[in-house]
Amino acid sequence: MRNTRILNQHWWFQEGEHVVESFADLSGLANIEIPHNAKDTPFNYFDESMLHRSFTYHHIISCDQNMLHDTQVINFEGVLANAVVYVNGQKCTSHSDGYTPFDAVISRYLTLGDNLITVTIDGAENEEIPPFGGAIDYICYPGIYRNVSLTSYNAVRIQNVKASASDVLNTPSLQVTTRLQYFSSFNSALSVLVELLDPQNKIKAYSNFTVNNGETIFSLDFDNLTDIELWDTENPVLYQVRVTIVDPNIKDIFVAKFGFRDINFSPDGFYLNGKRLQLVGVNRHQSYPYVGYAMGERAQRLDADIIRNEYGFNMVRTSHYPQAPCFLDRCDELGLLVFEEIPGWQHIGDKAWQQRSLDNVKAMIERDWNHACIVIWGVRINESEDNSEFYQQSNALARELDDTRPTGGVRCIENSEFLEDVYTMNDFILGDGEQVLRDPRQVTGLDHDVPYLVTEYAGHMYPTKRYDCEAWQSEHVMRHLRVLNASLADKRISGAISWCLFDYNTHRDFGSGDKVCYHGISDMFRIPKFAADVYGSQLDPHIKPVLSPVTYWTRGERPEAATLPLIILTNCDRVEIKIGDSKSAFFYPDKKNFAHLSHPPIIIDHNNVGDFPLGGWGYAWSDVEFRGYCGQQVIISKLLSSSPIPSHLNVELQTTVLKAHCADSARVVIKALDQHGQILPYLDDILNVSTSDNLQLLGPSQLVLKGGAIGFWVRAYEAGEASICIDSQSFASKTLFLKVLD
């Protein structure tokens, strides 16, 4: 019977490449837990070459007779990069890619008692391995940064299962394809049970059958299924297939979640279950401050929640590599559509490099083909030149592996060879001029329309820090508004995916000189900038009312002491503004300039301000109140002070319960607020953070508020009571209490 245990605890770690055979060699080495970042990075201003080294991990596996009798397989979900696995000093396997999983079948190297597993990795950006070989605008953090598990199998295992639903809008059917792997010769037929489980985990259909001796791949169809609930963005219903080997000698089970949904990219847009759905997306890197890629499930899932629930996006692109399975699981659960792509950034290497990239296409698709959320495979190296032969192969391979999803391949050049099913383009045309997005035919160079998706915009065209001045924030917001509106205006454009979710660390060749690209709609701690409200304000006001005046409400923040134009991002029908004792005035969404948005912003400027005293130099500065209406009702209001005083240190703790020893972490967001609960954007308070011994603070213990706010994560180790203490100069100390469970 398959028996899996997570192998994240009790690893030894050292810099350099050290394949040792004796346990004595481990004495004195650092004891660490997986997920692990080989080299922590400062928040900014670091020398990325410190990551370009080799590192070694060791772990001891104790084997009894039963384990020796069965087949032992270690699964690595993500190791960057060029991992080589040794057992008792003998090389067992290697895997060069840093983003896809691999197995090490270790049985034949094992002996009774303790066995030493050694994994060497190389952070050197070896140009033989994608994405390396050219410049890259992000950091590739070395480490064993996703889960490791050990599974005991009998002579045969179910290696993978693919659930492909078809004709779901008429007569749904499901094909379940199973692949077996034989570890040792096995000379008899196997009895297999395939079950379809409904969302309540009840068996909806099943079939028993026999697999002939030695057969590795078999398919089974469930036809004419009735009462199937479709997976969609609003109601993401998930089913499961369960495949079980029920032989007296061999037992194994494999469960895969999937959804019944119909997807179609056509020249007039994207259709989900037969209905046109405009894609509004964001690009996500998988990095976090200080610890790079090494974050556990709760942190990964939080990103998906922020994207879907706080900002209201319906699509995310996993720029520029396959991301954590737990992130994709959350996208499945949230109804968040995914564009997943292979590792790469502009550079294409030689034939051997290209073959590795094709291996990545296969590994990505075979890992993720059951995710309902994934609606397109990215099979080009992001923004690379055309390469007919390579990309014909990557497309053919993707289609052969999965004929239920279209291919895309992200480019930034016009008239590129169209080999994919969807023409996907990074469109950064918006600068100071009038053109907001290119016409799809201008991009494709074709005389007819084809399925078309904008995969990046904004980003480096207008880098913005969360604490940049108000005038800069307004322009940042305006650019996001304009592209979003333009993408909605042209029905040939399936949607647009903005660059990007949060600021990220990068190489010296990019960013603001401090190794950060300030391209996010939120900062590295996922604390939103004003531009995030461009998207959040498109949500249904009954789900989440949004009222975000893009202002710090000061007399002299902007050049020439201007207050106009004032953008208000809101999903309210109208906003009433009252300044001090003046009479209030109503302002309305700008339906003329932003006709395609569900909730256009309100823009107050010299055309519509009339004699309302918003602006004008020289009068007394007063508090302002914004009241947002839906119909006759005020659903949200905001009071901005004319004289903000530090009044409250707001601390949001993501959860008070963590799990021990599994990289479980809680995010803490700290905001300095004034007497009306508004952030104090220029308060540079210094904080001292300390934690109980069973928590690790990820990052330094002395923090400075940036733009009135800062974040950090704490990671749980031993079970028990836990606490976080925050001391500040301007506010009273705060202590937060958590529980870490076994």
Q: Which is nearer to ligand GAL, 109 or 345 (CB)?
A: 345
| Helix, strand, coil percentages, rounded to 5, for the chain | 15, 35, 50
Only one residue has tokens 């299924």, namely 225
Determine the residue with CB nearest ligand GAL. 459
Q: Which is nearer to ligand GAL, 459 or 528 (CB)?
A: 459
Distance CA 585, CA 609 (A): 9
Task: Reduce the DSSP state of residue 731 to 3 states and report it.
Answer: coil
Q: Which is nearer to ligand GAL, 460 or 492 (CB)?
A: 460
Tokens of 360: 């990545």
Instruction: Considering the candidates 77, 125, 456, 470, report the single residue annotated as catalytic.
Output: 456
**Residue 443 · residue 472 · CB < 8 Å:** no
Q: What is the DSSP letter of 702?
A: E
Max distance between CA atoms of the chain, in angstroms, equals 93
- Considering only 95, 317, 519, 627, the residue that binds ligand GAL (CB under 6 A) is 519
In the bound complex, what is the minimum distance in angstroms from residue 382's beta carbon to ligand GAL? 5
Q: Which is nearer to ligand GAL, 320 or 667 (CB)?
A: 320
Tokens of 325: 């399975």
Distance CA 710, CA 452 (A): 39
- Considering only 137, 247, 297, 674, the residue that binds ligand GAL (CB under 6 A) is 137
Contact flags string 320-339 toward ligand GAL, x per CB under 6 A: x-------------------
Dihedral Cα 95, 324, 691, 701, nearest 10 deg: 80
Stretch that binds ligand GAL, among 22-30, 92-100, 456-464, 639-647 (CB under 6 A): 456-464
Site for ligand GAL in 421-450 (CB under 6 A): 426
Distance CA 391, CA 498 (A): 25
Strand bridging mode 702-704 / 173-182: unpaired
Question: Has 333 been annotated as catalytic?
Answer: no
- Considering only 97, 329, 368, 456, the residue that binds ligand GAL (CB under 6 A) is 456
Q: Which is nearer to ligand GAL, 179 or 507 (CB)?
A: 507
Q: Which is nearer to ligand GAL, 162 or 476 (CB)?
A: 476
Site for ligand GAL in 484-513 (CB under 6 A): 499
Q: Which is nearer to ligand GAL, 48 or 456 (CB)?
A: 456
Stretch that binds ligand GAL, among 31-39, 67-75, 334-342, 453-461 (CB under 6 A): 453-461
Distance CA 242, CA 640 (A): 56
**Residue 684 · residue 729 · CB < 8 Å:** no
Minimal CA–CA distance to 42: which of 271, 397, 292?
Answer: 292
Minimal CA–CA distance to 163: which of 356, 444, 368, 407?
Answer: 368
Distance CA 221, CA 213 (A): 21
CA atoms 219, 409, 421, 460: torsion sign: positive
> Where are the extended beta strands (E) located within 64-172?
71-76, 79-80, 83-87, 90-95, 102-105, 113-122, 143-144, 148-153, 156-166
Distance CA 514, CA 533 (A): 26
- Considering only 232, 247, 310, 383, the residue that binds ligand GAL (CB under 6 A) is 383
Stretch that binds ligand GAL, among 99-107, 111-119, 413-421, 454-462 (CB under 6 A): 454-462
For residue 262, state whether it binds ligand GAL (rule: CB under 6 A). no
Distance CA 301, CA 309 (A): 12
Stretch that binds ligand GAL, among 66-74, 452-460, 479-487, 615-623 (CB under 6 A): 452-460
For residue 523, state whether it binds ligand GAL (rule: CB under 6 A). no
| Strand order across the beta sheet in which 695-698 lies | 648-653, 665-673, 709-716, 695-698
Question: Has 470 been annotated as catalytic?
Answer: no
- Considering only 459, 601, 681, 708, the residue that binds ligand GAL (CB under 6 A) is 459
Instruction: Considering the candidates 33, 48, 340, 383, report the single residue annotated as catalytic.
Output: 383
Q: Is 661 left (phi over 0), alpha (psi -120 to 50) or beta?
A: left
In the bound complex, what is the minimum distance in angstroms from residue 310's beta carbon to ligand GAL? 22
In the bound complex, what is the minimum distance in angstroms from residue 365's beta carbon to ligand GAL? 22
For residue 269, state whether it binds ligand GAL (rule: CB under 6 A). no
Q: Which is nearer to ligand GAL, 71 or 426 (CB)?
A: 426
- Considering only 460, 578, 596, 734, the residue that binds ligand GAL (CB under 6 A) is 460
For residue 341, state whether it binds ligand GAL (rule: CB under 6 A). no
Binding site for ligand GAL (CB under 6 A): 137, 319-320, 382-383, 412, 426, 456, 459-460, 499, 519
Query: Residues with catalytic annotation?
Result: 383, 456
